Amino acid sequence: MSVFVRVGGVAHHVLVEGGGPVCVLSAGLGMSWFDWDPVVPLLAPHRTVVRFDRPGHGLSAPAAVPPSATGEAHRVAGLLDALSLPGPATVVGHSIAGLHAEAFARLHPDRTAGIVLVDSSVEEHARTPAAPALRTAAARGLGAVLAAAGAPAAVGPAVRRATVRLSRAAGGDPAPADLVRRVYATSRAMHGALLENTHYRAVAAELLALRERFPLPPGLPVTVLAAPDGSARWARRQHALARRLGAHYEAVEPSGHLMMWDRPDAVARAVLDQDVA
């Protein structure tokens, strides 16, 4: 079932498939709902799978306000409310959405069955950048200039293809060409990626502050899936994240950053291995 759900005044593109305990899939910066396509068939026989596009991503409307860790946590809760899925959910966050998944667990502990962090962003010492309003204005201004120059239609799909190719162990972008053009040839997608990238450090710093105030629920199942891809430093940082969260750690190899394309089996197994009874 594909629907549009309004949360915070923004129309969000959402797909709901399968049945059973709820599992929410949230992809990384600039990614879309179809980037979870290889994972969903493995989960849907056992879970009610909810995947959605954040504002400015996929087919969702542009963002009304800049992103924040708290805002993204409440966005997931708002989507579940709008879909009449109030029960606890396992939240799977890839890359920057790993920050969002952790924030959700801290701010909505009674609604969290578990979290799975898929090669999550890690920022151990992030600080909130100065002048956030100016940064937002700069991102919107750059987006307007690029849109006026026709950049999204001219290079948007090619940039998407190149990004995916470089982020996979297997290389290449398996996503259907019509969907890639439908999403990435638009100024909406470019604006969405620019806005999230601009406020990335602020979101990471906010999560560090939330860790000090809102503990994770005792015994919450947490899994950290890492794609070291030969980087000992990245493996150490992901190990440290797992220790910080009391999580189960797994290095998924071979896999690039886009683990949902390279190793959908590992992502699905991490969800299904968590006890959500």
Give the tens place of pLDDT for each residue, 133-191. 999 999 999 999 999 999 999 999 999 999 999 999 998 999 999 999 999 999 999 99
Q: What is the pLDDT of residue 20?
A: 97
Cis peptide before 62 (omega within 30 of 0): no
- Please report, as a single letter, which amino acid is at residue 255: S
What's the first-to-final CA gap in the chain, in angstroms?
Answer: 25
CB 198 within 8 Å of CB 125: no
Residues of the chain with pLDDT under 50: none
- Please report, as a single letter, which amino acid is at residue 80: L
Q: What is the pLDDT of residue 86?
A: 85
Q: What is the pLDDT of residue 230?
A: 86
Give the separation between CA 178 and CA 199, rounded to whole angstroms: 30
Beta-sheet pairing, 10-18 with 48-52:
antiparallel
Q: Return the structure tokens found at 84.
A: 């009449």
Question: Taking the complete model, does pTM exceed 0.85, yes or no?
Answer: yes
Q: What is the pLDDT of residue 277?
A: 55
Q: What is the pLDDT of residue 228?
A: 95
Q: Return the structure tokens found at 101.
A: 């998944």
- φ/ψ of residue 115, rounded to 5: -135, 145
Q: Return the structure tokens found at 160.
A: 């998407």
Q: How many other C-beta atoms lie within 10 A of the C-beta of residue 118?
A: 31
